[in-house]
Homo-oligomer: A and B are copies of this chain.
Amino acid sequence: MSASERVVPEGARRRRRPTKQGTVLSEQLIVETALRLIGEHGAAALTVRRLGAALGCDPSALYRYFRDTDELLLAVADELIGRTLRTWRPTGDWRADLRTLGLRMHADYLAHPQAATLTCARVTGRAHEIRSVEAILGVLRGAGFPDAEAVRIYHVFVDQTLSFAALDASTLVLSEQARAQEVQTWPQTYARLPADTHPNIAATAGVLVAEMDRSGYPAALEMVLAAAATRLQHVRTPAL
């Protein structure tokens, strides 16, 4: 039997057989346990053996549910997307809708930084992700963007949100002292550079220290939304 034939799709499962330790496995339970493991003990804690131990089953039992660890990771990623999307409702104002969705996705991923660094870059092709793509495209096309434009803006919006989430999450995962040192680099190193050798840094030192202390995502999102709005005006009033 090859590895891929070993996996039975979740919908087709009929026999639910408890493990030696009594737990009844399911795709849902495995994904939740994986997420919990990552949240409690860091991303490095997600190994097949540890996950098996946490679930009370043999590690190899997981291969009845996922072809390999990569597929398991995709399921974890999709679960995160689903949690974000579950409470979001579009209002009809495209700019406000994208703003709140972006900020919420960013925040939700940061709430699970270890999981975010592992999964932000992945295209899952699973249910929750598909729903989010459909929704965002709907918002943009409903606002009047032509198809090509809508797809391009969708791409920028989603990749920007995920990549900033991964970036910001990765700093949260650093060790306590590494993060502390990272934060202090701006006031300690940059704010003290002399004006004759580094005129631009010296002139903006105060603003620089304050700005670099927070995420650049909100400002980046605003700029992308502003550029999109400008583009929409051109589409609506062509050849002025």
- Residues on A lying within 8 angstroms of B by beta carbon are 70, 120-125, 130, 133-134, 137-138, 141, 147-148, 150-152, 155-156, 158-160, 162-164, 166-167, 170-171, 174-175, 178, 182, 185-186, 188-190, 193, 198-201, 203-204, 207-208, 211-212, 215-217, 219-220, 222-224, 226-228, 230
Our pick among B148, B182, B226, B228 for the contact of A207 (Cβ within 8 Å) is: B148
Q: Are B121 and A156 in contact (CB under 8 A)?
A: no
Q: Which residues of B contact A151 (CB under 8 A)?
A: 204, 207-208, 211
* A156 surroundings in chain B (CB, below 8 A): 216, 219-220, 223
> CB within 8 A of A211: which of B123, B141, B155?
B155
**The residue from B138, B217, B227 contacting A200, defined by CB atoms under 8 A apart:** B138
Which residue of the partner chain, among B133, B159, B178, contacts A190 with CB atoms under 8 Å?
Answer: B133
